[in-house]
Amino acid sequence: MNVVIKRLNSSLGKETLPLVGFLLLLILAFSIASPRFLTGANLGSIAFQLPVLGLLTLAMMVPILSGGLNLAIIFAANISGLTLAWTLIQFGGPEAGFSAFLIGAAAALIVGTISGAVMGLVIAYIGAHPILVSLAMMIFLRGLGEFLTRGGDISGFPEYMHFIGHGSILGIPVPLLIFFGAAIAWHIMLTGTRHGFSVYMIGSNIEAAEYSGLHTKRTLTLIYAISGFICAIAGILMAARFNSVRVGHGEALLLVTVLACFLGGVDPFGGFGRVLPVVIALIILQVLSSGLNLLGANQHLSTAVWGLFLIGVMTLRWVSGRLKLSLNRKE
């Protein structure tokens, strides 16, 4: 049995099995506490709410793996959504054809990628700290968005965008399919490409990565460019979900993405982390929020519970590490 567990931990990541066990306990507890928890309506709500947070978390994950941080993910997503909205308006707003959407989506992806690439270039070639660079980009994008929209929102999109935000294929929500596709691509990139290897090396020790011949500056630039690209996908999805775009959409999700990364076992100092545990952590957070909501708790209490949960997880990891260290010394 121990051999099987060790093999599973090796292939899936040591964080995965404990997170799956905790997720099952949560589902069992909320199922007992509320008969509405396992209904199709509630599970569908979870499935539709998860993807935006999931995409933003993926956009945050790889910069953290490299030892950095991207504080601009929310506003990169929103400025990308504004790009899409502006394009659709130029082609007639609600009457815009699908070709207009394709043009707008392409423009949004380009804008998101450029915003990330600019951060990557400054971090890689100037040597500025990622927190300061991403904070500066966040302020710039927020100010630009407020200027362009006069602090309001843009709404009234073509009817076909409703399918992207609210439609289903074979009973599976389209947003969830988009998120799973991005997560699988992220996993393949990190585990099966030279770029993924370089990300882990840079996060572990950037000087050693340079001495080993890796092009660290190019990798850092690409890390933030891809992060911006994922933000743009999230921005397009938010526009389709809410049928409107506003600079402040999703501001509360920024710290939750960091929480999901750390809960999923991503090392806050970089160099270690897997996609699957982070996805499971996202599901746990969404189940917690949904379950508490069904029990009558408001969103603020859910946020507080998320924070306490992270503190508890960090404490358990510290205690576990100390126990392992003491056992190794005795041996």
pLDDT one-digit tens code per residue, 162-181:
898 888 898 889 999 999 99
Measured CA to CA, the distance from residue 78 to residue 72 in angstroms comes to 10
The dihedral sign for the CA sequence 193, 58, 243, 170: positive
159 lies in which domain range? 46-252
Measured CA to CA, the distance from residue 3 to residue 99 in angstroms comes to 55
284 is a domain residue:
no
User: How confident is the model at residue 234, as a pLDDT?
Assistant: 94
- The CA–CA distances, whole Å, from 13 to 7, 51, 243, 289, 300 equal 9, 22, 38, 25, 32
- Give the model's confidence band at 152: pLDDT under 50 very low, under 70 low, under 90 confident, else very high: confident
User: How confident is the model at residue 320, as a pLDDT?
Assistant: 72
3 is a domain residue:
no
Measured CA to CA, the distance from residue 127 to residue 298 in angstroms comes to 43
269 is a domain residue:
no
216 is a domain residue:
yes
- DSSP-assigned states of every residue in 251-298: TTHHHHHHHHHHHTT--TTSS---HHHHHHHHHHHHHHHHHHHHTT--
Place of tokens 């599973």: 8
Percent of the chain with pLDDT over 70: 93
Assigned token pair, 71:
């504080």
**Segment among 72-76, 199-203, 232-236, 314-318 with least mean pLDDT:** 314-318
User: How confident is the model at residue 279, as a pLDDT?
Assistant: 94
What does pLDDT average to over the chain?
A: 87
- HEC string of 86-150? HHHHHCCHHHCCHHHHHHHHHHHHHHHHHHHHHHHHHHHHHCCCHHHHHHHHHHHHHHHHHHHHC
In the chain, the number of structural domains is 1
Say what the pTM is: 0.89
Query: For residue 293, which phi and psi values (nearest 5 degrees)?
Result: -65, -40
User: How confident is the model at residue 11, as a pLDDT?
Assistant: 52
**What are the residues whose beta carbons fall under 8 Å from the beta carbon of 291, sequence distance 6 or more?**
26, 29, 30, 33, 34, 37
User: How confident is the model at residue 174, as a pLDDT?
Assistant: 93
Measured CA to CA, the distance from residue 285 to residue 57 in angstroms comes to 12
Measured CA to CA, the distance from residue 185 to residue 129 in angstroms comes to 28
Percent of the chain with pLDDT over 90: 43
- Give the model's confidence band at 330: pLDDT under 50 very low, under 70 low, under 90 confident, else very high: low
pLDDT digits (tens, 9 = 90+) for 106-148: 999 999 999 999 999 999 999 899 999 999 999 999 999 888 8
19 is a domain residue:
no
- The CA–CA distances, whole Å, from 303 to 45, 82, 259, 286, 290 equal 18, 28, 11, 11, 12
User: 301 or 226, which is more confident?
Assistant: 226
308 is a domain residue:
no
User: How confident is the model at residue 2, as a pLDDT?
Assistant: 52
User: How confident is the model at residue 329, as a pLDDT?
Assistant: 67
The dihedral region occupied by 245, where left means phi > 0, alpha psi between -120 and 50, and beta the remainder, is beta
**What are the residues whose beta carbons fall under 8 Å from the beta carbon of 80, sequence distance 6 or more?**
108, 109, 111, 112, 115, 231, 232, 235, 236
The dihedral region occupied by 267, where left means phi > 0, alpha psi between -120 and 50, and beta the remainder, is beta
167 is a domain residue:
yes
Assigned token pair, 152:
């309001």
Q: Please say if the pLDDT value at position 3 is more than 60.
A: no
Q: Please say if the pLDDT value at position 4 is more than 50.
A: no
pLDDT digits (tens, 9 = 90+) for 17-50: 888 988 999 899 989 888 888 888 888 888 888 9
71 is a domain residue:
yes
Query: Mean pLDDT, to the nearest integer, of 77-91?
Result: 92
User: How confident is the model at residue 246, as a pLDDT?
Assistant: 85
Four-point Cα dihedral 264, 265, 268, 269, nearest 10: -150
- Give the model's confidence band at 219: pLDDT under 50 very low, under 70 low, under 90 confident, else very high: very high
Tell me which residue of 285, 281, 279 sits closest to 306, measured CA to CA: 285
pLDDT digits (tens, 9 = 90+) for 45-75: 888 889 999 999 999 999 999 999 999 999 9
pLDDT digits (tens, 9 = 90+) for 233-282: 999 999 998 888 888 888 888 888 988 998 888 988 888 889 999 999 99
User: How confident is the model at residue 280, as a pLDDT?
Assistant: 94
